[in-house]
Amino acid sequence: MSINFEKNGLIAHIKNSSISYILEVIDDKYLINRYFGKTIREYRETNTFQYFKRGYNTQHISSIEHLSFDDFPFEYPARGHGDYRIPAISITPSTGIDFIDLTFKEWRILKEKPKISGLPSTFSEEGETETLEIICEDVSSGIRVYMYYSIFDNLGIIVRHQKIENFGIQKVTINSAKSLSLELPAKDYDFLSLYGTHAKEANVSRFALHRGIQKIESARGASSPQHQPFFALLSPDTCEESGEVYGFHLIYSGSFSAEVEKDQFGNVRAQMGLNPDNFKWSLESGEIFETPEVVINYSNNGLNGMSQNFHKLYKSHLIPKKIMNQERPILLNSWESMYYDVTLDKIEQQSNIAQELGIELFVLDDGWFRLSNSSKTSMGDWKCNEKKLPGGINKVAEIIHKKGLKFGLWFEPEMISKASNLYSEHPEWALQIPNYPMIEGRNQYVLDLSRKDVQEYIINIFHEYLKDGKIEYIKWDMNRPLTEVNSLELDFGRKSEIWHRYVLGLYYVLETIISTYPNVLFEGCSSGGARFDPGMLYYTPQIWTSDNTDAFDRTIIQSGYSLLYPPIAMGAHVSITPNHQTGRITSMNTRYQVARLFNLGYELDLSKCQDYEIKEIAEQIAESKRNKKLIQYGDFFRHDVQNDNYSMWSTVNSDKTEAIVIIFQKFHNPIKSHCLFKLNYLNSDFDYCEKNTGKIYGGDELMSVGLSIPLIKSDFHAFAFHFEKIS
Ligand code: DGJ
C-alpha cells in the first residue's frame, strides 16, 4: 500500500496490490480523476485527453487544447462552470447564487485515518491504511473542502469522505455534498442495485446503463428496504465468478441518493451521498460539516470478488474488534412463537427446552411492556407489564440465567405511542408539523432524535436496564419510516437539517450506550431489513435480515445481502412450517441449511415440536457449534449455476482446508435435474474427504468437473456437503 506523488507533485497515485486510484491537478487548479481500477505499477499518462473543437460549448484557458468542461473528469464537481452533469457539491454562499469555484490548494499523506465526527466510519490500526488529504478552496466564498481517501492494505477498497469548512465571515448554505463522485471511462456498463420492500428485501436489479441519469434513493429518513445504499457498475459479461466490478456503498442510515450519469460521449459519473431532497445545512462562519464515508470497491474477480472486499472490510474495519473476536451465540427469539402474548410460563417452558438443545441465548421480543397484546400502546414508557410478567424483567432474566442461557431484550427506542405516559407528558418530543395531522405508522409516532432531551431520555432507559449486567443482548428495532419530519425545537432557518440531525442523534445515542456497555451484543432490526446498512452495522454487529423467515424466500434475500455483508452479520432463523409469512411448507432440514451459514437462530415454539424435530434441532445445534469458527471467520461465496432451478453457496476457511457447500433445489423437475456444480473456491492441489459420505475427491476434480446431486423428488430441497482436506 502506498501513496506517491508524481510529475512534480501534480499526480497522486494511491495504490496497493489490487487497485490504483490516480488523481491529477491540471493548470495548478483543477483536480481531476485519471484512473481507478486494477493496480498499475507506474502511471505514465497513456490516457491523454482527446479534445477537439466543439460547437455550442464553452471556452476554458488551459494547458489542454480545446478542453471542454462538458466531459472533464472533475473529482468533486460544482455547478455553473460549463460542466452540466450532476454536481457533487452545491453551496449557496453570501452571493445568494448556487455557485462556488473550488480550486486545488494542496495535498498530503496522513498515516492515521481521520475519524468523522458524529458518524460511523471504518477504522484501522497503525500501518493498516494510508490516507491522502486534499484541500480545495474558493477564497471568494470562504469555502474550503478537505477530501480524504484511505486505502487499506491488500483490499480492493478505498474509503472516502469530505469535510467542508466555512472560513468566510458570512453564513453559507450547503444544498448538497456528496460523499462520492467518480468518473469512469466511456464503455458499456451494467447497473446493479438491490431493491425490495418489507419482507422481500435485497432483490438484485441489473440493466444496461443508458444515456442520462439513473438514480436510486431513499427519502424515508432511513436507508430503507426499497433500495440498499449501494450500486455497482459491471462489465456486461461479469458474473459471480469473473469480470470487472466497481461497487459503492454508503456508511449511512438515513435518506440517501445514488446516481449515475452517462453523458453524450459515453463517459460515466457515479455519485452517492446524503439525499439532497432531504437536506440543507446552514454553515456559520468557522463551522465544519462532514459527509458520511463511502466505500469504493474494485474487483476483477466478479461479484464474489466485490463481496469478498466488502466482507473483509466490514469484518476487520467496521464491526467492533471485540465483538468480531467473540463467537456469536445461537439464539431463540420469542416473536413468532409468542408475538405480543408473552408469559412467564411460556418463557419457562421454552427456555427449558432451549437449554436441553444447547441454545445459548433467549431473546424476549416485543410484548413485554405493552398494556395489551397489540402494537397500540406503551411505546416510549418501557415499563414491564407485570400483569403479563409478574416480577418484571428481573424475574425473566432470573429464569433464563438459571438455565445457563444469556438473556436478550427487545426495544424500539426511537418510537412513541399516542397511548403512552411519555406522550401525555411530552407530546412535543414527537416529530410533527404544527396544524397538520400526525400520521401513525404501526400505531406509533417517531421521536425527535435531534433533541438533546430525547437523546438523554433514551440513554437513561438503557442505563436503567443494562446497569446491573442482567441483560447481555439488545434487539434494537425501528418499525416505520419518518413523516412530518420537523423538530419543534429547531430554529426556523435550520428546519431542513432535521433529516440528518435525526440520524446524528441516533448515532450519538447508540455510541453512548454501546461505549458504556461494550459487553452487550446489539442486534439491529427495522421490520427486518428496512435499515440494514453499514452505518447501523458499526453499532449493531448483527442485523435481523428480514421479517420473512420462509426458507425459499430467504435464499434470495440472503444471497442479495451477501453481495455486501458478511453472513455473520445476518440473522437467519429456523421458524415454523407452514411459514407464517408465505404459508409455504419446507422441511426442517431445508430451513436449517438456509440459515446455518449465517447468524443462526431459532424462532418457533419448541414446546410444540415433535420429538423427531427436537432431535433434529439438537443435532443441528451441535453441528453448528462445531462449525462456528468456519462460519464466522470463513469466506462466503455465491456460485454461478447453469440451471436457475438451483442456487448454491459455500463457506470456505482461509487456507481452503475446509468447506461447507449447500445446493438448493427449487422444484423437483425430472427433465432438468442433471446439472454439475463446480466448487470453484477450493484448492485444486488438495484432496478432500466429504464428511457425510466419507468419499474422497481431488480439489481439481471438484473444481473442474463438478459435483452432481442425487435425484430427490422434493421441492425446496437442500443438499449439504462438508469437505475437509486429507493429508
Ligand atoms: C419487527 C421485527 O422485524 C420482528 O422481528 C419483531 O421484532 C417485531 N418487529 C416486533 O414488533
Predicted pLDDT of residue 542: 98
Three cell numbers written together for 37? 481500477
**Which atom of ligand 1 is the closest one to the Cα of 410?**
7
Q: Would you say the CB of residue 332 lies under 6 angstroms from ligand 1?
A: no
Predicted pLDDT of residue 674: 75
For the chain, the average pLDDT equals 97
**In angstroms, what is the span from residue 484 Cα to ligand 1's centroid?**
24
Hey, whose CA ends up nearest to atom 6 of ligand 1? 335
Q: Would you say the CB of residue 603 lies under 6 angstroms from ligand 1?
A: no
Three cell numbers written together for 428? 412535543
Q: Would you say the CB of residue 366 lies under 6 angstroms from ligand 1?
A: yes
Which residues, in sequence order, are CB contacts of 204 under 8 Å at separation 6+? Answer: 192, 193, 194, 559, 560, 563
**In angstroms, what is the span from residue 369 Cα to ligand 1's centroid?**
14
Cα(3)–Cα(512) distance, integer angstroms: 35
Q: Would you say the CB of residue 479 lies under 6 angstroms from ligand 1?
A: yes
Hey, whose CA ends up nearest to atom 1 of ligand 1? 527
Distances (CA, A) of 33 to 17, 75, 164, 397, 581: 20, 5, 20, 57, 48
Q: Would you say the CB of residue 528 lies under 6 angstroms from ligand 1?
A: yes
Q: Would you say the CB of residue 363 lies under 6 angstroms from ligand 1?
A: no
Task: Give the tens place of pLDDT for each residue, 431-467.
Answer: 999 999 999 999 999 999 999 999 999 999 999 999 9
Question: Which amino acid, one-letter code, is at 533?
Answer: D
**In angstroms, what is the span from residue 475 Cα to ligand 1's centroid?**
9
Task: Give the tens place of pLDDT for each residue, 107-133.
Answer: 999 999 999 999 999 999 999 999 999
Q: Would you say the CB of residue 476 lies under 6 angstroms from ligand 1?
A: no
Hey, whose CA ends up nearest to atom 11 of ligand 1? 366
DSSP string, 514-552: HHH-TTSEEEE-BTTBTT-SHHHHHH-SEEE--S---HH
**In angstroms, what is the span from residue 262 Cα to ligand 1's centroid?**
41
**Which atom of ligand 1 is the closest one to the Cα of 339?**
10
**In angstroms, what is the span from residue 410 Cα to ligand 1's centroid?**
9
**In angstroms, what is the span from residue 477 Cα to ligand 1's centroid?**
7
Q: Would you say the CB of residue 336 lies under 6 angstroms from ligand 1?
A: no
Predicted pLDDT of residue 342: 98
Closest CA to 336 of 77, 549, 68: 549
**Which atom of ligand 1 is the closest one to the Cα of 333?**
5
How much of the chain exceeds pLDDT 70, in percent?
A: 100
Predicted pLDDT of residue 433: 98
Q: Say whether 547 is catalytic.
A: yes
- Residue range 212-229: mean pLDDT, rounded: 98
DSSP string, 45-89: --S-------SS------SSTT--GGG--BSS--SSSS--S--SE
Question: Which amino acid, one-letter code, is at 635?
Answer: D
**Which atom of ligand 1 is the closest one to the Cα of 525?**
3
Q: Say whether 477 is catalytic.
A: yes
- Grade residue 642 by pLDDT with cuts at 50, 70 and 90: confident
Hey, whose CA ends up nearest to atom 9 of ligand 1? 527
Q: Would you say the CB of residue 183 lies under 6 angstroms from ligand 1?
A: no
Q: Which 8-state DSSP code applies to residue 625?
A: H
**In angstroms, what is the span from residue 331 Cα to ligand 1's centroid?**
15
Q: Which of 477, 581, 604 to mutate to test the pocket of ligand 1 (most atoms within 8 A of CB)?
A: 477
**Which atom of ligand 1 is the closest one to the Cα of 603?**
5
**In angstroms, what is the span from residue 527 Cα to ligand 1's centroid?**
6
Whether residue 51 has pLDDT greater than 70: yes
Q: Would you say the CB of residue 369 lies under 6 angstroms from ligand 1?
A: no
Which entry of 83, 138, 365, 477 is annotated as an active-site residue? 477
Q: Would you say the CB of residue 547 lies under 6 angstroms from ligand 1?
A: yes
Q: Would you say the CB of residue 107 lies under 6 angstroms from ligand 1?
A: no
Whether residue 672 has pLDDT greater than 70: no
E strand residue ranges, 402-494: 406-411, 415-417, 444-446, 473-476
**In angstroms, what is the span from residue 336 Cα to ligand 1's centroid?**
9
- Residue range 640-656: mean pLDDT, rounded: 95
**Which atom of ligand 1 is the closest one to the Cα of 335?**
6
Three cell numbers written together for 95? 452571493
E strand residue ranges, 111-156: 129-138, 143-152
Cα(331)–Cα(475) distance, integer angstroms: 12
Domain with CATH 2.70.98.60 in the chain: 92-320
Q: Would you say the CB of residue 477 lies under 6 angstroms from ligand 1?
A: yes
Predicted pLDDT of residue 60: 84
- Residue range 698-710: mean pLDDT, rounded: 96
Q: Would you say the CB of residue 365 lies under 6 angstroms from ligand 1?
A: yes
- 3-state class of 153 per DSSP? coil
Predicted pLDDT of residue 707: 95
**Which atom of ligand 1 is the closest one to the Cα of 442?**
11
On the question of a cis peptide bond just before residue 578, with omega within 30 degrees of 0, the verdict is: yes
Which entry of 263, 365, 547, 553 is annotated as an active-site residue? 547
Domain with CATH 2.60.40.1180 in the chain: 636-726
Q: Would you say the CB of residue 481 lies under 6 angstroms from ligand 1?
A: no
Task: Give the tens place of pLDDT for each residue, 530-578.
Answer: 999 999 999 999 999 999 999 999 999 999 999 999 999 999 999 999 9
**Which atom of ligand 1 is the closest one to the Cα of 547?**
3
- Residue range 416-422: mean pLDDT, rounded: 98
What is the domain class of 92-320 according to CATH?
Answer: mainly beta
DSSP string, 425-443: H-GGGB---TTSPPPPBTT
Strands 172-184 and 331-333: unpaired
E strand residue ranges, 153-292: 157-166, 172-184, 190-197, 200-208, 212-218, 227-234, 245-251, 256-262, 268-274, 281-283, 288-290
The domain 636-726: what is its CATH number?
A: 2.60.40.1180
The structure's pTM equals: 0.98
Whether residue 312 has pLDDT greater than 70: yes
- Grade residue 350 by pLDDT with cuts at 50, 70 and 90: very high
**Which atom of ligand 1 is the closest one to the Cα of 375?**
11
Whether residue 669 has pLDDT greater than 80: yes
Question: Which amino acid, one-letter code, is at 545?
Answer: T
User: Number of H helices and number of E strands within the chain?
Assistant: 14, 36
**In angstroms, what is the span from residue 366 Cα to ligand 1's centroid?**
7
**In angstroms, what is the span from residue 198 Cα to ligand 1's centroid?**
11
| 184 in Cβ contact with 199 (< 8 Å) | no
| 434 in Cβ contact with 418 (< 8 Å) | no
Closest CA to 543 of 476, 461, 630: 476
Three cell numbers written together for 712? 430427490
Distances (CA, A) of 702 to 129, 167, 709: 37, 63, 13
Task: Give the tens place of pLDDT for each residue, 586-614.
Answer: 999 999 999 999 999 999 999 999 999 99
**In angstroms, what is the span from residue 91 Cα to ligand 1's centroid?**
41
In the numeric block, the cell 467492533 is attached to 320
Cα(43)–Cα(56) distance, integer angstroms: 34
Q: How many CB atoms lie within 10 A of CB 387?
A: 7
In the numeric block, the cell 490548494 is attached to 105
Q: Would you say the CB of residue 548 lies under 6 angstroms from ligand 1?
A: no
- Grade residue 673 by pLDDT with cuts at 50, 70 and 90: low
Q: Would you say the CB of residue 632 lies under 6 angstroms from ligand 1?
A: no
- Grade residue 514 by pLDDT with cuts at 50, 70 and 90: very high
In the numeric block, the cell 421441492 is attached to 715
Task: Give the tens place of pLDDT for each residue, 235-286.
Answer: 999 999 999 999 999 999 999 999 999 999 999 999 999 999 999 999 999 9
Q: Which of 363, 372, 410, 531 to mutate to test the pocket of ligand 1 (most atoms within 8 A of CB)?
A: 410
